[in-house]
Structure 1
Amino acid sequence: MAFRCPKVWLWRWRRNPLKRRADTVEAWVLLGAGMLTVLGGVLAGLTVARSVEQELARERAEWRPVTASLTKDVPGTSRAAGGASNGERVWAEVRWTAPDGSSRTGQARVRPGSSVGTPVTVWTDRRGRLVTAPASESQARVRASLIGGLAGVGAAMVPFAGGRVLLTRLERRRLDQWDLDWARFDPLWGAGRADESR
C-alpha cells in the first residue's frame, strides 16, 4: 500500500523542481474536466428547463376546457358512507363537440354513480383531442426545474466521468513510469551501498 501525504491545495500549479510533465497534464485535465462539468451541466439544465417551461406555457395557451356529457350510466355511488364526497373518480365514456363541429367520444374520469347526460369538464387540444389539464404556472416552474436539474446532472456526468477515466489512466501511466525508473536506478543505489560497506 502506497504512503499518502496530506493534500496540498493547488500543488500542481506551484513551481516545484520535482514536478513532472505528467503533473502539469493532470492539472490541465482536472481544470478542463471541472469546467466542462460545471458549464455543461448548468447550460444543459437551463436549456432543458426553459424548453419544458415554454412547452407547458404553450399547452396552457392552446388547451381549452370543454363541457362533455356522459354516454352511459356510471355504476357505484357518488357519496361516501358518511354522506360526504370522497373525491373518488372512475373512468367513463364521454361525448363532446370538437372545434370543427364533429362529435367525439373518449374516456374521462367522473364521479361514481353519475347518470347519462351528466355534464363533465374535459380538456382538449386545438384539434379537439382529449388531453390532461395543463399545468399551472407554479406547477410548470417546479416541473421545469426538476427536469432541468436532472438533465443538467446527466449532462455534467459525461465530462466528469471522462475526466475521471483520463485521470485514472494518467495515474496508471505515472505508476508504470515510477516502476521503470525504480528498476533503472535501484541497481545503481545498490552498488553505491555496497561500496560504502567496504
Structure 2
Amino acid sequence: MVNPGGSSQPPPVGTGSLSWKRCAGCGGKIADRFLLYTMDSYWHSRCLKCSCCQAQLGEIGTSCYTKSGMILCRNDYIRLFGNSGACSACGQSIPASELVMRAQGNVYHLKCFTCSTCRNRLVPGDRFHYINGSLFCEHDRPTALINGHLSSLQTNPLLPDQKAVDCYTLRVTLDDELKHRQTLGLALSGESLDLIV
C-alpha cells in the first residue's frame, strides 16, 4: 500500500514488551485486542473518528485524511475541500478523491502522466525527465538531450493530492502478554482486558 507523507509501517507491538501503548485520542492505555496505527500514533479503534461526522474511521475504510488540523473520512474531506485542481496535461478538473501524479509542482491525472514522445504512461517507480514542462521516459531521454534540453533524472512517486494517511489495523492478541505478566507476578491492578480465546 502506498503511503505518502504519512506514517510508514507501524513499529512492532511486542509480545514480550511490558509497556502499554497509549492512545493518541484519549491518552489512555490500549489494552484492546485490536488497535489502529496512523500518523505515527496508536489509537483505540473507538477514538480515531472523523472530526465532522464522528464516524469511527477504522470501521469505514483503510485510510483517513488530515487537513487544517482535522482528521476526516473520505466523504467529509471531499465535501469540505472539493476538487484539487486541474490536470497540467489535459486541463480537466481532478476530483479530490482521485490519486494524482506530480512533477515540478504540476499535477496530472494518472492517465495523463505520459511520455511526450512515445505517449507511454509513466507509473510509480518509473524514472523520467521533466524538461521545459514536458515529461520524457528513460527510453526517450537521449532524444530529448540531443534536442538541447537538460534535466535531472527523477523517480516518479505516487502522491495523492489529498495527502491520505493510511490507517493500519493491527490484530494484537494480548494472551501472551497477559501470561508473561502473570509469570513475573505483576498484578494488573484492576485493568480489564477483553480477551477472546
Q: Same fold (TM over 0.5)?
A: no
Normalising by structure 1, report the TM-score: 0.24
User: Per residue, is there more strand in 1 or in 2?
Assistant: 2
Normalising by structure 2, report the TM-score: 0.24
Larger Rg: 1
User: Per residue, is there more helix in 1 or in 2?
Assistant: 1
